[in-house]
Amino acid sequence: MENKFEGFVLAGGKSQRMKTDKAFLQIGDETFLTRAVKILSSTCKNRVKIVLNKAQTNFIERLPNQIPHIFDVYENRGALGGIHAALNDCQRGWAIVLAVDLPRVTGEAIERLARIAVESKKFAAIVPIQTDGRPQPLCAVYRAEDCWTRLKNLLNESASASVKDFLELVPTRFVEQDELTTNAGEDLFFNVNRPSDLQILVSQNQ
């Protein structure tokens, strides 16, 4: 199954609320970036890349050894730009994207998303639903052939397009969190945006 997938860590955010690059925050003895690469590698093996924005050349030397990186094609387009870069680069059937600031996502969840994707013949995007009921498109699986052109056209047509706009253009299967984990109380999609979020994460992992 792993031959069908490539993994992409979205690490091109500006981290304005955190005031430091989230890719190099620590959880335990590893950075968020190293952890995200490891989580994707459980399904994608050695086909994982890091997606950056073009202003991040200053920390390329800090990237995990031997993990290739690519840059956004559309600059300053936020999450959509990162997803597009992944789809644009993807040479396998499916691109698995994972935002670097979702450190609680597990290899089990990625594996289950991938299996659902393989079984979902009529869907082009497999997107989890968080415990708060919102979709989480930055830990999701996209069929590159079906999604790339539509996303490129959307980015060209609208400077204010959102990920929600994109998902409305492709057949999307939404997956409840319970389908992705055996731990019913787990908050897989806890998003670390602010220093206070990091404090919560650290305190819960002590």
Domain parsing of the chain, residue ranges: 2-204
**Is residue 55 classed as helix, strand or coil in its secondary structure?**
coil
DSSP E strands in 55-196: the ranges are 69-71, 94-99, 125-129, 139-143, 172-176
Structural contact between residues 23 and 196, judged by C-beta atoms closer than 8 angstroms:
no
What residues contact residue 72 under an 8 Å CB cut-off, 6+ apart? 12, 51, 52, 53, 54, 81, 82, 84, 85
Task: State the pLDDT at residue 61.
Answer: 83
Whether this prediction's pTM lies above 0.85 is answered by yes
Top-confidence residue, 153 or 198: 153
pLDDT in tens, 15-71: 655 657 888 888 888 999 999 999 999 899 889 999 998 888 777 888 887 889 999
Measure the CA–CA gap between 146 and 123, rounded to whole angstroms. 9
The domain 2-204 is classified under which CATH number: 3.10.129.10, 3.10.20.30, 3.90.550.10, 3.30.70.20? 3.90.550.10
Structural contact between residues 128 and 177, judged by C-beta atoms closer than 8 angstroms:
yes
**Is residue 134 classed as helix, strand or coil in its secondary structure?**
coil
Does the pLDDT value for residue 190 go beyond 80? yes
